Structure 1
Amino acid sequence: MDKNADRNITVSTTGLLVAALAVLALLVAYLLGGSGGTPAAQAVIPSQTVEGTGVDPRTLTMTGVGEATAVPDQVTFDLSVRMKQPELDAALDAASLTMTRVRAALEAEGVERKDVQTTGLEMHPVYDYPRYSSPVLTGYRVTQSAAVLVRELRSAGGAVSAAIDAGGNAARVGDIALKIGDPEAALGKARRLAVEEATLKAQEYAEATGEELGAVMTLREVDATSRSAIDDRPLTYEVAAAFRSSADSAPLPLSAGRADLGVTVQVVWELAAEDSR
């Protein structure tokens, strides 16, 4: 009985010794790995590689902004004719006749027929609301709307004034806006400037870190905007008449001003491999 007990005690002590040695070995490996002592200890850190090459991608990403100024050479505006008559048919006829006169006046100012596009037709009953009785139908209001494009800026003022003159108090002009006929030409310059800025910054960062730029991997246009402004308050016959009376019946004055175009690009370069430098 005593011999079995001694044997059990001996086996247990040996097991404890082996476990202690294993723990000690793990502790030494941990300390060496934390101090960078063994490459094998760091190799367990996963890293992304370029598919099929086994080489880590080394890239530099930079954004650039390019700006260009263009002079608007076209004008757009919304045109509407609003008529009220006791009967719906009469209101429709009156609105159509007035819009026909307005279109003819625009054509006389050089606006092409295809550049006057109908955008809406509205018909609404009009009621009078006596204080102590039921509503009374007094007629119908018809509104015809169109969008107008004037392709030559110098003709825009005359076109607006002619539309107001032809439509009289029934005509309304609003949302006057300057437009660039060929915005891509100006945007092309802005794009080139944006890429040049991004490239210059990338070269500066690469030189500062002892690297060299390689091939462009991706190029993406992040944003392209244009900003221009003009007084777009609705113009009635009286307002247009005030313009003309102050300038001896001259057309409504419109100033081109300028439009600022901006482009932002994001470019990703591959950094040159160390063995190629």
Structure 2
Amino acid sequence: MAKETPRTVSVTGTGTATAAADKATVSMSIVARSPELDAAQRAAAEVTARVLELTDSLEIDRKLVDTTGAGVRPDYRWNREKEEQELRGYIAERQMVVKVEDLELLGRLIEGAVGAGVNQVSPPQLDSNEREEAYRQALRRAAIDARESADVLAKTLDARIGDVITINAGSNRPPQPGPQLRVTAMAMESDASATYNPADLTFSATVDVVFELTE
């Protein structure tokens, strides 16, 4: 006699948790143009050196500053009369990534970097030292949500929840937080610094659970 297939109910639970942002990663781009290759490279290096002086003055450990991104490319322009590209110089680029473990330094870092000659500063990527615990909390809430949903379905259909058959989590790691930074004030004067009010980071989790149904 064939074994009877157990009755089951499949549900998805969701949960969220928040954690205060307490660190950030700031990416910067330095672009220098010059008719001479050496001059372009030298100009980019000088800006890089000034930013390093800035991070040193802010007591940001050199291990938290990455300056390895660099590149050089020719700078062409279109000559309409000759109908051809002509070389007008070179472009030297440097990429810097600074990890900030004290958010109170963010404003001074960004303002100082722009003043040092940095061409572009990307929105800071906020993070939290409590991200793992926040994700686990979101996961627990997702599991509770799944169980409650299963109970509602079972009771509505005059059944009861039995053992868990399978559990699948939507992700085993918290997602990387995106740029979630609110700028409340930014004064570019030399005697003022930017003030930033970082938003809390929200971590979410989902779980798919299959329960056995009993009478």
Q: Is the structural similarity TM-score above 0.5?
A: yes
Which ranges of structure 1 fall in alignment gaps of 5 or more residues?
Answer: 1-42, 44-48, 233-241
Q: Give, in whole Å, the separation in 1 of the partners of 2:98 and 2:203.
A: 24
Structure 1 length-normalised TM: 0.65
Partner of 1:196: 144
By how many angstroms is 1:230 displaced? 3.3
- Rate the CA distance shift 1:180–1:126 in 2: closer, same or farther, 3 A: same
Q: Tell me if structure 2 keeps the 8 A contact 1:191–1:263.
A: yes
After superposition, residues 159-238 of structure 1 pair within 5 angstroms as 159-165=109-115, 167-168=116-117, 170-222=118-170, 229-230=180-181
Deviations, residues 161-204 of structure 1 (Å, cap 9, x unaligned): 22223x23x54322333223332111111111111111112122
Q: Give, in whole Å, the separation in 1 of the partners of 2:163 and 2:181.
A: 44
Greater RCO (Cα-Cα under 8 Å, separation 6 or more): 2
After superposition, residues 48-63 of structure 1 pair within 5 angstroms as 54-63=3-12
Partner of 1:76: 25
Q: Which amino acid aligns with 1:258?
A: D
Structure 2 length-normalised TM: 0.82
Q: Tell me if structure 1 keeps the 8 A contact 2:182–2:196.
A: no
- Rate the CA distance shift 1:214–1:119 in 2: closer, same or farther, 3 A: farther
By how many angstroms is 1:266 displaced? 1.0
Indicate which of 189, 203, 208 corresponds to 1:266.
208
Deviations, residues 49-83 of structure 1 (Å, cap 9, x unaligned): 6xxxx342222211111122222112222112222
- Rate the CA distance shift 1:57–1:201 in 2: closer, same or farther, 3 A: same
Deviations, residues 129-158 of structure 1 (Å, cap 9, x unaligned): 555356654432211112222122112112
The alignment status of 1:126 with 2:68, answered yes or no, reads no
| Larger strand percent | 2
Q: How big is the alpha-carbon RMSD for the aligned residues of Structure 1 and Structure 2?
A: 2.9
Q: Give, in whole Å, the separation in 2 of the partners of 1:91 and 1:55.
A: 77
Partner of 1:116: 65
Partner of 1:254: 196
Q: Tell me if structure 2 keeps the 8 A contact 1:85–1:140.
A: yes
The alignment status of 1:149 with 2:93, answered yes or no, reads no
By how many angstroms is 1:102 displaced? 0.8
- Rate the CA distance shift 1:227–1:175 in 2: closer, same or farther, 3 A: closer
Secondary structure in structure 1 of the residue aligned to 2:106: helix
- Rate the CA distance shift 1:136–1:270 in 2: closer, same or farther, 3 A: closer
Deviations, residues 10-47 of structure 1 (Å, cap 9, x unaligned): xxxxxxxxxxxxxxxxxxxxxxxxxxxxxxxxx9xxxx
Q: Tell me if structure 2 keeps the 8 A contact 1:118–1:146.
A: yes
Which ranges of structure 2 fall in alignment gaps of 5 or more residues?
Answer: none
Q: Tell me if structure 2 keeps the 8 A contact 1:151–1:181.
A: no
Deviations, residues 77-135 of structure 1 (Å, cap 9, x unaligned): 21122222332123223322321221221132132222222363221223465553566
Partner of 1:107: 56
Moved over 6 A (4+): none
Larger Rg: 1
Q: What is the number of residues matched between the two proteins?
A: 210
| Larger helix percent | 1
